[in-house]
Amino acid sequence: MATPDETPAAAAAAAAPEGSSAPTRPRKGPLSFLSGSLTSFGLGWLALQLSFRVVGWYGEHPPHYEARLAQSIAVFMKTLIEGMSFLATFTFAFVGLGLLLTFVRSLLPGWSQAEETP
């Protein structure tokens, strides 16, 4: 019986007979890496399109206020929004590139042995 302060995983490990290990999830295969890479590249493409639209919108509608503080805040917000949209673009692109390289590496001979060694 598990005590109230034990986590469910700890209670299950304590209930397992000696010599048996907890069930492990199978390793990810090349198809998972490829689908993740394509998904990330797709989201990166959408983020790039959004970035271009944000830059275009601010190009057509520049912030203009009489008060210096309001103008400063508006320019800050414009820079922040444009920066975040491009940051999302490059983040998705680099994750997609990393998964693509992992996919290629998983196709090379000896990948399963390399994954098993500590």
Does residue 1 contact residue 74 with C-beta atoms inside 8 Å? no
What value does the mean pLDDT take over residues 80-103? 96
pLDDT in tens, 57-76: 999 999 899 999 999 999 99
Instruction: Give the Å distances, CA to CA, from 84 to 15, 40, 64, 81.
Output: 48, 17, 22, 5
**Mean pLDDT across 107-112:** 78
| pLDDT category of residue 2 using cuts at 50, 70 and 90 | low
d(CA 17, CA 53) in angstroms, rounded, equals 60
Answer for the pair 106, 40: CB distance below 8 angstroms, yes or no: no
Rounded distance, CA 52 to CA 83, Å? Answer: 11
- Mean pLDDT score across all residues of the chain: 83
What lies within 8 Å, CB to CB, of 86 at 6+ separation is 51
State the pLDDT at residue 6.
54
Q: Tokens for 23, please give them.
A: 């069930």
Structural domain spans, the chain: 48-108
